[in-house]
Amino acid sequence: MAAISLRQVVKRYGTGATANPVIHGVDAEITDGEFVVIVGPSGCGKSTLLRMVAGLEAISGGEIAIGGRVVNEVEPSERDIAMVFQNYALYPHFKVFDNMAYGLRIRKVPEAEVKARVEKAAKTLELSHLLDRKPRQLSGGQRQRVAMGRAIVRQPAVFLFDEPLSNLDAKLRAQTRLEIQKLHAELGVTSLFVTHDQVEAMTLAQRMIVMNAGRIEQIGTPEEVYGRPRTTFVAGFIGSPPMNLVPVQAEGGHARIGDHRVALPARAPRDGALLLGLRPEHAEPATAEGGWPFVVDLVEMLGAERLVYGQLAGSPFTWRIDGTLPPPRRGEQLHLQAAAERLHWFDPADGRRVEA
């Protein structure tokens, strides 16, 4: 069993009045065999949290447990984890085989078992033909696969990934994401994966932990986080382009957006100041009588789709349309609408979701 429990985990740098808190009482439960992605902007504390799980950073408060054992004071080498870093961390003078075997050899694993484990991992990662090469003879994607292979041969209880794909180009990132998914399906090892790329998080995660400023904003499946964001931060961070957030003054079945009074498909959860959230793909063309006025500023062609940027009743708004449709012209005045179930409502004071 290799579940991970984070209980009121705190991290501070410094002591006393000058202490700088960077992780503020994080609580999370990762079940045995689960693949969880920690995602958030740079500086939100996600890598610090991962390093505390690994034992590379001391925690200032709370508890971290792996497999039911509290590991606050346990050395990294005794935590039964394997970590894959952003910069590969390969020995340049070692061949691929020796890089993958090094961790086993320093643990005095018999050489026959070392050979069997390395060859099995190399076959899984399609590295068998590269075992006699040195890192300088490999591409970035191949080096990252070697780093993953080195972790696999350890046969740990937990895999930790610290932004392992950020040094790869877009095509290699997509390919390596697929390899990581296949790897987890085959091995079933509990995994924590850190990234700032929300596309990576959405495609890899069984569940996501969205972090902001050292706190957890939301935990859930990609579908839950995308479909029902709990805060405006999550709504604006998850999704590309992000959810539109329009300040409105709700008045029964209508809303005032700037100087415009528009009809709503269903009554807002309360009257007064609210933020109306709408995904770019959920807006639809409407007639002038029932629609919301939209003026086109710019159209981006992205192949299968177009992004139309403009002003919805005076507020910035992005609309996603099919790339095969005729694009609207700059300055053109249109009308949009949305189904009631596509609307999201947030409190402008604290950014939290307001339910109907």
Q: Tell me, what's the pLDDT at 1?
A: 57
60 falls within a domain = yes
Mean pLDDT of 93-110: 93
The CATH number given to whatever domain includes residue 227 is 3.40.50.300
C-beta of residue 270 within 8 angstroms of C-beta of residue 347: no
91 and 170 fall within a common domain: yes
226 and 247 fall within a common domain: no
271 and 190 fall within a common domain: no
306 and 285 fall within a common domain: yes
pLDDT band at 288 (very low <50, low <70, confident <90, very high): confident
Structural domain ending residue among the three candidates 206, 231, 256: 231
Structural domain ending residue among the three candidates 205, 231, 257: 231
Can you read off the two tokens belonging to residue 59?
């925690």
Q: Tell me, what's the pLDDT at 290?
A: 76
89 contact partners, CB below 8 Å, separation of at least 6:
147
290 falls within a domain = yes
Is the predicted pLDDT of residue 80 greater than 80, yes or no? yes
Structural domain ending residue among the three candidates 200, 231, 262: 231
211 and 313 fall within a common domain: no
216 falls within a domain = yes
293 and 156 fall within a common domain: no
Q: Tell me, what's the pLDDT at 219?
A: 98
353 falls within a domain = no
Domain span at 226: 4-231
The CATH number given to whatever domain includes residue 265 is 2.40.50.140
**Residue range 147-187, pLDDT digits in tens:** 989 999 988 999 999 998 888 888 888 888 888 898 899 88
307 and 185 fall within a common domain: no
**Residue range 9-43, pLDDT digits in tens:** 999 998 877 889 999 999 999 999 999 999 999 99
Percent of the chain, pLDDT > 70?
A: 100
Secondary structure element (H or E) that encloses residue 148, with its range: helix 140-153
Alpha-carbon distance of 243 to 348, in angstroms, equals 15
**Residue range 294-332, pLDDT digits in tens:** 999 999 999 999 999 999 988 999 999 999 989 999 999
Percent of the chain, pLDDT > 90?
A: 77
Residue 186: φ, ψ to 5°? -80, -45
Tally of domains within the chain? 2
pTM of the model: 0.90
351 falls within a domain = no
246 and 132 fall within a common domain: no
Alpha-carbon distance of 77 to 326, in angstroms, equals 60
268 and 328 fall within a common domain: yes
What would the DSSP string read from start to end of 282-327?
Answer: G-EE--TTTSEEEEEEEEEE-SSEEEEEEEETTEEEEEEEETTSPP
333 falls within a domain = yes
30 and 87 fall within a common domain: yes
188 and 261 fall within a common domain: no
Is the predicted pLDDT of residue 89 greater than 90, yes or no? no
236 falls within a domain = no
Alpha-carbon distance of 154 to 117, in angstroms, equals 8
264 and 307 fall within a common domain: yes
- Which three-class secondary structure string do you get for 188-215? CCEEEEEECCHHHHHHHCCEEEEEECCE
